[in-house]
């Protein structure tokens, strides 16, 4: 009878492990959905920001872009530590 009891115990452990894995899988699916939604939101915000930047660039006068690119960057002096 001990073999049958051993088998029953192993089946019980297997059922418990299966339940744990299902719960873990459900949690991972929730996390994936949240991360996917966050990624989609960030992509949308990035696209909107790019559109705003493109619109601002279009509003620049034609001669402003080359002059700004050719001008040297101002030197910033910091305090010595």
Does the structure show a pLDDT above 60 at 72?
yes
Which residue's structure tokens are 């002059």? 67
Report the run of H or E that residue 72 belongs to, with start and end: none
Joined tokens for residue 37: 């939604």
pLDDT, tens digit, 9 for 90 and up, residues 36-71: 999 999 999 999 999 999 999 999 998 865 555 565
User: What pLDDT is stored for residue 41 in this prediction?
Assistant: 98
Q: What are the C-alpha distances in Å from 12 to residues 23, 35, 36, 41?
A: 17, 35, 36, 44
**DSSP category for residue 63:** T
Domain ranges of the chain: 2-61
CA dist., res. 6 & res. 16, Å (int)? 15
């Amino acid at each position: 009878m001990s073999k049958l009891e051993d088998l029953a115990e192993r089946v019980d452990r297997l059922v418990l492990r299966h339940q744990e894995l299902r719960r873990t899988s459900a949690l991972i699916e929730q996390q994936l959905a949240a991360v996917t939604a966050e990624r989609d939101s960030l992509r949308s915000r990035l696209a909107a920001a790019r559109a705003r930047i493109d619109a601002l660039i279009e509003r620049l006068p034609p001669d402003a872009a080359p002059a700004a690119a050719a001008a040297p960057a101002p030197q910033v002096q910091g305090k010595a530590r």
